[in-house]
């Protein structure tokens, strides 16, 4: 081997050793903890490391850029002079195909000029600069993933808070009056839901029961449901006849619902303790189930259109005397859908099953209200829930029977009339 060949081999080995040290130093930097707050500093340190350890490097520029070459950030070393006699190196690598912002740039771009003349050195430098692009892309992606993970945890925390707030607004305790008791069953499809279920003592004579279903799911529907709860309490300050309640609610909510392309179905039931009867009005809502010793049926009450669909909607009211002991179930459509097995359980199947359940509890002298609630939860768990599910169970005595024993209950504050 000639002296010239030995010298070339020595230069190549030295070059490779320098690049190995460069890779070690670069990897140490790229493995550091990084965030959006420190990303630019880490990139600047990488550029400084490469510029100082590649002897032939005259100029190096790394930038985070958009699809349209908008530079979000750049780090450079060296002076921009006449590079006509130098070897140019350039490249770019995609950070994220579907995002393009200062926090999630589309590209990492590299521009460099070196004094390398040997083809082997040029080839090695090209590979090394490509590795630098990969390292910087990895840093940017780690920041993005970290940011997305933080956002996800924050969103989950916010949703959990929303779930707790909404849960506090759903009646938890059984309401017991002289001739009627009520219990709410509520299961949102996601963290929060668009169902609204409530009972409100208007005064000593009247108690208002409401079940409503906001179109859609999740947080938007939940926000609307919370707004409806506030609107209901405002309306009950002046009106408590179910048809007037629905009419006034539609007037209050129409503009907001139409802007958001939403609507609300609702059933309002007003219990008259003196007459032991219910006054019912519906706005596009499913008809309630009525079960007594002599009648098991879908109550044939007239209904109007949902709230938010027509600006001038009016509603009718119907009276249901409670002459014998029984149940009235007010529900959202998720109640029927939650009973799915292989096919949708029709409402008549619910009537049949609940009738058998009532007969069983009467024979065994068990608490029928507990039995009905347990059965609803059992069917919900057995099926696959596809919507928010709410059921308001009203159990009533006949006019001749002994009243329900009074118990302490947490109820909504009475309206000032």
Residue 404 is assigned to a structural domain of this protein: no
143 shares its domain with 193 = no
Q: Which of 102, 120, 152 is the last residue of a domain?
A: 152
145 shares its domain with 15 = yes
**pLDDT tens digits for 292-302?**
888 888 888 88
272 shares its domain with 148 = no
Residue 409 is assigned to a structural domain of this protein: no
Instruction: Quote the percentage of the chain above a pLDDT of 70.
Output: 77
Residue 217 pLDDT > 90: no
Query: How far is Cα 18 from Cα 380, in angstroms, rounded to an integer?
Result: 68
Count of alpha carbons within 13 angstroms of residue 218, beta-carbon side: 5
**pLDDT tens digits for 28-47?**
666 667 788 888 888 898 88
192 shares its domain with 317 = yes
E-assigned strands of 27-70?
Answer: 57-65
Residue 40 is assigned to a structural domain of this protein: yes
The pTM assigned to this predicted structure is: 0.62
Residue 411 is assigned to a structural domain of this protein: no
183 shares its domain with 328 = yes
199 shares its domain with 317 = yes
If you average pLDDT over residues 78-90, what whole number do you get?
A: 84
Nearest to 210 by CA among 172, 180, 247, 242: 242
Count of the separate structural domains present in the chain: 2
Buried b (16+ CB within 10 A) or exposed e, 185-209: bbbbbebbbbbbbbbbbbeeebbbb
Residue 165 is assigned to a structural domain of this protein: no
Residue 174 is assigned to a structural domain of this protein: yes
Residue 126 is assigned to a structural domain of this protein: yes
Give pLDDT, residue 414: 35
Q: Which of 152, 180, 210 is the last residue of a domain?
A: 152
The CATH code of the domain that includes 61 is 3.30.450.40
E-assigned strands of 322-409?
Answer: 326-331, 389-396
211 shares its domain with 128 = no
Q: Which of 93, 120, 152 is the last residue of a domain?
A: 152
Give pLDDT, residue 344: 41
The CATH code of the domain that includes 290 is 3.60.40.10
Give pLDDT, residue 297: 87
22 shares its domain with 138 = yes
Give pLDDT, residue 400: 57
54 shares its domain with 92 = yes
Domain span holding position 26: 3-152
Q: Report angle CA 295, 289, 204 to the nearest 5 degrees.
A: 95
Residue 383 is assigned to a structural domain of this protein: yes
58 shares its domain with 197 = no
Buried b (16+ CB within 10 A) or exposed e, 98-133: eebeeebbbbbbbbbbbebeeeebeebbbebbebbb
Are the beta carbons of 112 and 90 closer than 8 angstroms? yes
Mean pLDDT is lowest, of 78-87, 109-118, 147-156, 310-319, for 147-156
Mean pLDDT is lowest, of 12-26, 335-349, 393-407, for 335-349
148 shares its domain with 175 = no
390 shares its domain with 276 = yes
Three-state secondary structure readout of 95-121: CCCCCCCCCCCCEEEEEEEECCCCHHH
Residue 120 pLDDT > 60: yes
């Amino acid at each position: 081997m000639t002296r010239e060949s030995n010298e070339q081999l020595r230069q190549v080995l030295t070059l490779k050793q320098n690049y190995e040290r460069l890779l070690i130093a670069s990897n140490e930097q790229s493995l550091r903890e990084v965030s959006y707050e420190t990303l630019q500093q880490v990139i600047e340190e990488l550029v400084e490391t490469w510029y100082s350890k590649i002897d032939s490097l005259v100029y190096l520029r790394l930038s985070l850029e958009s699809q349209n070459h908008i530079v979000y950030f750049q780090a450079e070393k060296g002076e921009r002079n006449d590079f006509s006699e130098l070897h140019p190196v350039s490249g770019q690598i995609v950070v994220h195909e579907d995002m393009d912002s200062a926090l999630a740039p589309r590209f990492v771009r590299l521009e460099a000029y070196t004094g390398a003349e040997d083809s082997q050195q040029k080839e090695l430098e090209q590979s090394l600069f490509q590795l630098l692009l990969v390292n910087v892309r990895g840093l940017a992606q780690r920041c993005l993933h970290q940011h997305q993970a933080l956002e996800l945890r924050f969103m989950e925390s916010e949703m959990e808070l929303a779930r707790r707030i909404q849960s506090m607004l759903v009646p938890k305790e059984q309401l017991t009056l002289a001739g009627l008791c009520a219990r709410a069953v509520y299961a949102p499809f996601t963290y929060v839901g668009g169902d609204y279920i409530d009972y409100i003592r208007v005064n000593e004579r009247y108690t208002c029961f409401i079940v409503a279903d906001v179109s859609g799911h999740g947080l938007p529907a939940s926000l609307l449901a919370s707004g409806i709860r506030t609107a209901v309490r405002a309306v009950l300050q002046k009106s408590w006849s179910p048809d007037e309640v629905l009419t006034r609610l539609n007037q209050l909510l129409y503009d907001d619902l139409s802007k958001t392309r939403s609507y609300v179905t609702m059933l309002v039931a007003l219990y008259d303790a003196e007459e032991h009867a219910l006054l019912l009005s519906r706005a596009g809502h499913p008809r309630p189930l009525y079960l007594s010793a002599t009648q098991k049926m879908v109550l044939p009450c007239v209904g109007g259109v949902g709230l938010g669909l027509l600006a001038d909607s009016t509603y009718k009211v119907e009276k249901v005397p409670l002459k014998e002991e029984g149940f009235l179930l007010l529900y959202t459509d998720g109640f029927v859908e939650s009973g799915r097995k292989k096919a949708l359980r029709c409402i008549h199947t619910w009537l049949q099953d609940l009738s058998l359940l009532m007969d069983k509890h009467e024979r065994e002298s068990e608490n029928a209200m507990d039995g009905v609630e347990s059965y609803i939860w059992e069917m919900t768990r057995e099926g696959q829930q596809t919507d928010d599910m709410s059921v308001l169970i009203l159990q009533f005595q006949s006019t001749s029977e002994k009243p329900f024993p009074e118990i302490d209950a947490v109820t909504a504050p009475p309206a000032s009339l």
